[in-house]
Structure 1
Amino acid sequence: MAVLRVILLAALLGLCLGKKRYDGYKVIRVTPGDDFQLRSIADLKRGLEDKVDFWAEPSHVGKSVDLMVAPFDVDSVQDLLAVHGLESTVTIDDVQQVIEETSPDRPDNLAALSNFRYDQYHSLDEILAWLNDVQGEHPNIAQRIDIGYSLEGRKLSVLKLGKPGSSKPIFWLMSGTHAREWLSPATQLKMVDLFLTGYGSNSEITNLLDKMDFYWMPIANPDGYEYSRSNDRLWRKTRGKTSSSWCTGADPNRNWSDHWDDPSQSTYACGQTYRGLSPFSEVCVDTVAKYVLGLSNVQVFIDMHCYSQLWMTPYGWSTSLPSNYQAQKNLADSAMAALKAVNGLNFQTGSIAGILYEAAGSSVDWAQNVAGIPYCYAPELRDTGYYGFLMPESSIYPSANEVFAAIKVIANNFV
């Protein structure tokens, strides 16, 4: 009891200081061995949504499920799993310790582009300053475009990268949709650097930027991202109003209009996958959708997430497949072969519902069905759960190098 009082006191102190702490929180892994166990975990998820944050949700037999559990709920959750015949192991013993090891708290450093640290996680202000510097130092191929503002008044910004020209195919890449997935924007920033340093000296990169326009959106959910930095490292959603006076934010990857009203969508306002009050109720989602619809000749749409090492295609709302699914998968397979050649990591390919779980209202389903973009991907970057959402900064360069190899394969298909 004394230990519990200390943990509770630390949690309350953290709230008073403005940043949520996860002292004693554990990540538990359970792997369903058959359909019955899979259904049991899915049933438990519905009953445990207030107690458990599912880092990796139940999807398929043999695919691990990761649950973050508060210290005072660990025993009861493990007992409940055991009652259903499910063996569990602890993969992260103290989440707060990992946060402190992998998420250093630094003051903003608005350094010039030549001194920008691509091997660190950055604030939104630092990223916006970086966008300005990229445009200033590479005016022949780079243009910063502010497409609107978030609910809380933060700029929604895009970097257009490519040699000026008309009717060029467009490659759209966004990241930071889910606030806590810091590796995705950091990976994107370093990939931009690889394009910049290669232009004019590397024939492949020069050819790609001469013949294709790349639109990079590092932070698609700036309010949530900044909240994950200032208040709660594991915050996932936006910061908008919900149907509950107690809970804030919707899942920006369940808020797109395509199959938003699907029965599988979560209407639980406090849940991590809450769909929002209406399609495009989240300002950041609505702004991005309108901007993408205003572009011509978009051939590729990528919304980068982490973690799980997957490279997924539509659909999320159903196990049915788009008419060009095989072409999308074939290109993804080629890209993943190039990715693996860099660091040896395996990424599984397939549809969202086919290899992960059903998720309606997603960006890539909308991009395929509404925007009519032929090649749409939702990558889940490294790792497979050792760090999960808390990837250390030492992972940024390896992630960027391997994903860059994949991006080049996909882009070369259109030039």
Structure 2
Amino acid sequence: MAVLRVILLAALLGLCLGKKRYDGYKVLRITPGDDFQLRSIADLKRGLETRVDFWAEPTHVGKSVDLMVAPDDADSVQEFLAQHGLESTVTINDVQKVIEETSPERPEENLAALSNFRYDLYHSLGEILTWMSDVAGEYPNIAKTENIGSSYEGRDLTLLKLGKSGSNKPIFWLMSGTHAREWLSPATLLKMVDLLLTGYGSDSEITNLLDKVDFYWMPIANPDGYEYSRSSDRLWRKTRGKTSSSWCTGADPNRNWDDHWDDPASSTYACGQTYRGLAPFSEACVDVVSKYLLGLTGVEVFIDMHAYSQFWMTPYGWTTSLPSNYQAQKNLADSAMAALKAVNGLSFQTGSIANVIYVAPGSSADWAYSKANIPYCFAPELRDTGNYGFLMPEQYIYSSAMEVFAAIKVIGNHIIP
């Protein structure tokens, strides 16, 4: 009953307040040229954490930083940058305008058959769950669904299992939608499933993959956050569970895994975008997935797919030190990215999470490698490099799916016994 009251209250507040708008918000790009400038940007982040949303974090000299600034904060941010010798360029001039262009409102579809499903659109959770059921119904020999638990707000956490029946097959785990606003990741997964289904029996490589590998794919790993990003705040990142603050909701589900969760670099700020949560596995969606994974045998690949920045990263996130089999993981990532680049010409940087993007304790990839003993663990960041960021237009879904699918085939073939 308590959870139900929370959901009803949230719904009432949503009706009263409507969707959060981002009129006049800008995304600025800054490139630190030395250590002083890098520290200055980090100081800005700490000082304005609730008012400035860093889309791409300050991590390395020469690596661009993207931050979204509200109109009321624009002058103070620009003054701070000028005082520290930092220049910025505007990559998105009006975030609300881009939201309206790339996230069009449409009624939920009542799909009569799988053949009517459009893979070039961003879909609601309800549509995705119906699609999964339809896939299992139309491809019973190679597809089935499994509900493995529920989110904090009671939404289903559902897997789609793909593969021909067989024993002792290696498992390829891939989930998406961990961060709610990264809509391109689940849309990419859905289209890749379609490529597997339609290629089985006609494409020899795909047929061999599904005959010899079991794919366990979860399109929406954070259903509460995903639906909130659709109904109330397009740029919502976190879950929707309780925090240490009565004013702030949700934790970062990619900082909530029990691997260096209490590291000094973990964020204990409940209102922050990377808040680690009240405890390891405090977020229901993370807890459910972790327990399910530990119950599996033979998982060879773990992927938690994100967007954006065009990275294909490996453990560790908590430290710049490297795991014992780092070179094997890096070699496979490099081969996969060569195949990805051959599709549309895009380059993805490879390397460990902490060395490529930033230090991120409590991440899913680190836990999967260190605690679940999965040998190949990847944390991809899909396209683009900042022109749209989290607001990729639907027209790029197919391109994303085709290039990532090329990488997935390389990785899948690598684990075939």
1:78 aligned onto 2:89: no
Render the CA deviation track for 1:253-311: whole Å, top value 9, x for unaligned.
Answer: 00000000000000000000000000000000000000111111000000000000000
CA positional deviation for 1:15: 8.2
1:97 counterpart residue number: 97
Task: Give the 3-state SS of the residue equivalent to 1:146 in structure 2.
Answer: strand
Residues 143 and 125 of structure 1, relative CA distance in 2, 3 Å threshold: same
1:189 counterpart residue number: 190
Question: Separation in 2 of the partners of 1:85 and 1:380?
Answer: 30
Pairing 1:203-222 to 2, within 5 Å after superposition:
203-222=204-223
Unaligned runs of 5+ in 1: 1-12
RMSD, matched Cα: 1.0
Question: Separation in 2 of the partners of 1:309 and 1:119?
Answer: 20
1:380 counterpart residue number: 381
Amino acid at match of 2:97: Q
1:172 counterpart residue number: 173
Task: Give the 3-state SS of the residue equivalent to 1:333 in structure 2.
Answer: helix
1:274 counterpart residue number: 275
2:6 counterpart residue number: none
Render the CA deviation track for 1:302-339: whole Å, top value 9, x for unaligned.
Answer: 00000000000000000011100000000000000000
2:348 counterpart residue number: 347
Pairing 1:237-252 to 2, within 5 Å after superposition:
237-252=238-253
1:38 aligned onto 2:38: yes
Question: Separation in 1 of the partners of 2:301 and 2:110?
Answer: 32
CA positional deviation for 1:186: 0.1
Question: Separation in 1 of the partners of 2:235 and 2:338?
Answer: 32
2:410 counterpart residue number: 409
Pairing 1:246-395 to 2, within 5 Å after superposition:
246-395=247-396
2:23 counterpart residue number: 23
Task: Give the 3-state SS of the residue equivalent to 1:180 in structure 2.
Answer: coil
Amino acid at match of 1:53: D
CA positional deviation for 1:16: 3.9
Amino acid at match of 1:379: P
Identity, in percent, stands at 81
Contact 1:14/1:20 (<8 A) preserved: no
CA positional deviation for 1:381: 0.1
Question: Separation in 2 of the partners of 1:386 and 1:28?
Answer: 11
Contact 1:311/1:379 (<8 A) preserved: yes
TM-score by structure 2 length? 0.96
Unaligned runs of 5+ in 2: 1-12
CA positional deviation for 1:342: 0.2
Render the CA deviation track for 1:169-212: whole Å, top value 9, x for unaligned.
Answer: 00000000000000000000000000000000000000000000
Pairing 1:40-59 to 2, within 5 Å after superposition:
40-59=40-59
Contact 2:119/2:187 (<8 A) preserved: yes
Task: Give the 3-state SS of the residue equivalent to 2:302 in structure 1.
Answer: strand
CA positional deviation for 1:34: 1.2
Amino acid at match of 1:18: G
Amino acid at match of 1:71: P
1:10 counterpart residue number: none
Contact 1:259/1:317 (<8 A) preserved: yes
Render the CA deviation track for 1:210-236: whole Å, top value 9, x for unaligned.
Answer: 000001100000000000000000000
Amino acid at match of 2:183: W
Contact 1:14/1:21 (<8 A) preserved: no
Question: Separation in 1 of the partners of 2:280 and 2:14?
Answer: 35
CA positional deviation for 1:110: 3.0
Pairing 1:132-143 to 2, within 5 Å after superposition:
132-143=133-144
TM-score by structure 1 length? 0.96
Amino acid at match of 1:260: W
Number of residue-to-residue matches in the alignment: 403
Question: Separation in 2 of the partners of 1:350 and 1:17?
Answer: 43
Question: Separation in 1 of the partners of 2:162 and 2:47?
Answer: 47
